[in-house]
Amino acid sequence: MGKRRTLASNKAARHDYFIEETLETGIVLTGTEIKSLRAGRASLKESYARIMDGELILLGMNISPYEHGNIHNVDPARPRKLLLHKREIRKLTALTQQQGLTLVPLSVYLTEKGLAKVEIAVAKGKKHYDKRESIAKRDAEIRMKRTKDAFNG
């Protein structure tokens, strides 16, 4: 995949959802939005993607206005179009029509060429007991690693 610089990540997504599949999409931004994004002023908290009129739209992503942007700044929480091929959008439409699957952004990053990309996941929501199970599993792995390190070191 090459080098990439992560600008924003949705840490809660992996806690709240079972990740079925991930894919990389482009994102349509204005000039001041990309400047603000490069400065790391974006949030994916509570954001999600929807397919509307045959296009993939990212909703709820917040990119703070650029400080030096004056009249060219746009609404920080506006819907943003994600770029995918039609066949990929058709595949996502079929997946999301299944029971309980949704599209969740995992991260926004810059590629080596300076292009902004969004990593989208097809995900299934976790129930409360699934979240507790994930936490217990993670804690057990940490304890085993610490025990192993103490034993070896």
pLDDT at 16 over 90: no
Using the CB atoms, write b or e for 43-78: b if 16+ within 10 Å: bbeebbbebeeeebbbbebbbebbeeeeeebbeeee
- Owner of token pair 């999600």: 48
Among 2.40.280.10, 1.10.3720.10, 3.30.70.360, 3.40.50.300, what is the CATH number of 4-127?
2.40.280.10
Domain locations along the chain: 4-127
What pLDDT, on the 0 to 100 scale, is given for residue 69? 66
pLDDT tens column, 84-119? 999 999 988 888 887 778 899 999 999 888 889 999
Q: What's the predicted TM-score (pTM) here? A: 0.76
pLDDT tens column, 28-87? 988 788 888 888 888 888 889 999 998 999 998 888 887 776 766 777 788 999 999 999
H-assigned helices in the chain: 11-16, 31-38, 86-96, 128-152
Q: How far apart, in whole angstroms, are the C-alpha atoms of residue 26 and residue 91?
A: 17
